[in-house]
Structure 1
Amino acid sequence: MTVKKRIVLTAVAIICLFVILYLSQEFMGSYYSRIITLIGIYGIMAVSLTLVNGISGVFSLGHAGFIAVGAYTSALLTLSPQQKEITFIIEKLVWPFNSIQLPFFWATLIGGIVAAIFALVIGWPSLRLTGDYFAIATLGFAEIIRIFALNMNSLTNGALGLKALPDHTNIWASWGWLLVTVACVTSLAYSSFGRALRAIREDRVAAQAMGINVFKHQLMAFVVGGFFAGISGSLYAHWLSTIDPRTNTIGIMLTFNVLIMIVLGGLGSITGAIIGGALFAFLSEWLRFLEGPMNILGFKIMGITGLRMLVFSSLFVVIMIFWPRGIMGRREFSWDGLASLFKRRDRK
């Protein structure tokens, strides 16, 4: 297939996507619109972690920390000074957050930048570690962020969290940022930089022997992943309309949720990350009935809180045992692959 045909097909696919999103926004109820919005948010989280864990080959467990940083930063920038004065009742909010208010787009962008700075500060010493040691270091970072959020009353409002955030996140915001994330990560993954990352993932020693600066490449990927994690955190906070550090909405469990997404879709596949995020969003809503009263064969069974996560955990274990490559493996969607699939079917 020629390059011109690929460009035309991609443009048509993007137009069709926007038409579908418009119809979803206009004709679907608010409940389904929120699920579609959540798919975009989860997609950004999964793609950003795929760049770090799947393409770079480092095992990070600190993604929830970057998401939390982006969420708090953007929330403090979008809340009005009057709302902040009412919200911060234990200690007054520090300057300059107490007197500024920015549009949602700029607040989201700044949230991503602050998360990227945190990724640089954490990655600079941590990436000198390898394997499980790096995973433990990033896990500790995520827990440190949670503890700070619980105790910094003058910045995060402590355990009370931030409530009544503006409901800015909609289908267009989440899917627009998802397209930006996919475009940026795909461009990196299929550039010389991405090829160097894959070489490091396959054999770190051989890549270093070929002259690839392993530390610099992994640090850059870690920072870019942190940036888009911060973006997703901003979108997620304004989708929830609240940030509560006492719950698992932005805690360490969120990292494991995103890990389930990328393993389900295929570790190392950007397409698989989006598919995994979509499946996780649908399943997390569909399985809500497990946590409510159920009537099975005339027997009334009380729902069990947290049973959804038990199902997800079981699914994760089953996939790791019987289908470790996930849905896409390390493959990506391509027009050439789709055309060859149809050709094989025609031959049969």
Structure 2
Amino acid sequence: MEKLSPKTTAILTILTILVFMFLLLIATKTLDSYRLRIINLMAIYAIMAVSLNLINGITGILSLGHSGFILIGAYTSALLTLTPEQKLISFIIEPVNPLIQNLHTNFFIATLAGGVVAAIFAFFIGWPVLKLSGDYLAIASLGFAEVIRIIALNAQSVTNGALGLKGIPEYTNTWWAWGWLLITVVFIVSLVKSSYGRALLAIREDRVAAEAMGINVFKHELMSFIIGAFFAGISGALYAHWLTTIDPKITTLGPILTFYILIMIVLGGLGSITGSVVGGVMFALLMEWLRNLEDPFTLFGLSFPNGIKGLRLLVISTIFILTMIFWNRGIFGRNELTWNSIYRFFKKRGVKK
């Protein structure tokens, strides 16, 4: 089948990135702060979805502990960007630990640190947990996410306990969010296309056959787990500096966040990086658009002056269930949107005409 040359696809990719950057520039100049925050949230959710899809969709590991890595990245980066003076003011119940009191750096280093610390935790968690499989692995990873949240609630001198961290600088802007999404997508796409990535796909299809072919299944799964956790930590750092506050008592960074991300990758297509990006963008838009259901509204002549609290999550859950029943492949299935697929699509339409 005829394909575009690598040079052509590279040129088209670069031009697309430049056009998209131009559109983002226009957006930053013309849109209000609320719409810009939603645009930034789209990119953050997309990073979360792509990183989990590497673990769940591409490698075939049923992990439900992704929110734990996001929380680690959020706390790590926030503690590094808060000034020593802010930490002294924020830590009321117990004084801040002297080891972290004077730690302070710029946002880029703090974001990288969030990813690295999450990856280190993934190594120590993944080493025993990945020896399990199926439901046992899912339950163990979900338990890890809850353990991290409970530790955050009780480690007063490090995380400020239930009071959380307030006054986090709002560093996450359009360029940081979408720039990190570009890095995440490029890295994971390159990984999947490599021999290492083909081994991950083989493990997803049949672990026994992959091991029989000489693939070290545990080593590859562990590396996939660590890489996914690294980018989850990156997304947590961006999320914390988008929210400007971390509160472990609420669901924003709790285990339910993992299920939000699962909804994103299932809607987009489990195993598709393109689908993960689309799913993250769609989820951010749906969550904001459906917020109107929790405000006063009228439906079929019935008035709801106080709205219906929690209705948007009910609608999102219903969409997820219907997708699993009637369209479990999601939007893209395991397919990717590539220049060659676009070229073949238009060529077929041209032939039919």
Are 1:247 and 2:250 counterparts? Answer: yes
Runs of at least 5 residues in structure 1 that lack an aligned partner in the other structure:
none
Counterpart CA distance in 2 for 1:41 and 1:165 is 17
CA RMSD of aligned residues (A): 0.8
Query: Mapping of 1:6-155 within 5 angstroms?
Result: 6-155=9-158
C-alpha distance after superposition, 1:258-317 (max 9, x if no partner): 000000000000000000000000000000011111123553213122111111111110
What displacement does 1:220 show?
A: 0.1
C-alpha distance after superposition, 1:116-150 (max 9, x if no partner): 00000100000000111000000000000010111
Equivalent position of 1:323 in the other structure: 327
What displacement does 1:95 show?
A: 2.4
What displacement does 1:328 show?
A: 0.3
Equivalent position of 1:285 in the other structure: 288
Q: What SS class does the counterpart of residue 249 from structure 1 fall into?
A: helix
What displacement does 1:106 show?
A: 0.2
Are 1:270 and 2:267 counterparts? Answer: no
Q: What SS class does the counterpart of residue 43 from structure 2 fall into?
A: helix
Equivalent position of 1:308 in the other structure: 312
Q: Which of 180, 183, 187 is the matching residue for 2:186?
A: 183
Which amino acid in 1 is paired with 2:223? M
What displacement does 1:40 show?
A: 0.7
Size of the aligned set, in residue pairs, is: 348
Q: What SS class does the counterpart of residue 186 from structure 1 fall into?
A: helix
C-alpha distance after superposition, 1:232-258 (max 9, x if no partner): 000001000000111111001100000
**TM-score (ref. length: structure 1):** 0.99
Counterpart CA distance in 2 for 1:298 and 1:338 is 45
Which range moves more in the overlay, 336-345 or 278-287? 336-345
Q: Which of 323, 341, 344 is the matching residue for 2:348?
A: 344
Q: What SS class does the counterpart of residue 253 from structure 2 fall into?
A: coil
Counterpart CA distance in 1 for 2:217 and 2:341 is 32
Equivalent position of 2:237 in the other structure: 234
Superposition misfits of 4+ residues, deviation over 6 angstroms: none
Counterpart CA distance in 1 for 2:333 and 2:82 is 42
Which amino acid in 1 is paired with 2:132? L
Q: What SS class does the counterpart of residue 251 from structure 2 fall into?
A: coil
Runs of at least 5 residues in structure 2 that lack an aligned partner in the other structure:
none
- Percent of residue pairs bearing the same amino acid type: 60
Q: What SS class does the counterpart of residue 300 from structure 1 fall into?
A: strand
Q: What SS class does the counterpart of residue 267 from structure 1 fall into?
A: coil
What displacement does 1:338 show?
A: 0.3
What displacement does 1:175 show?
A: 0.4
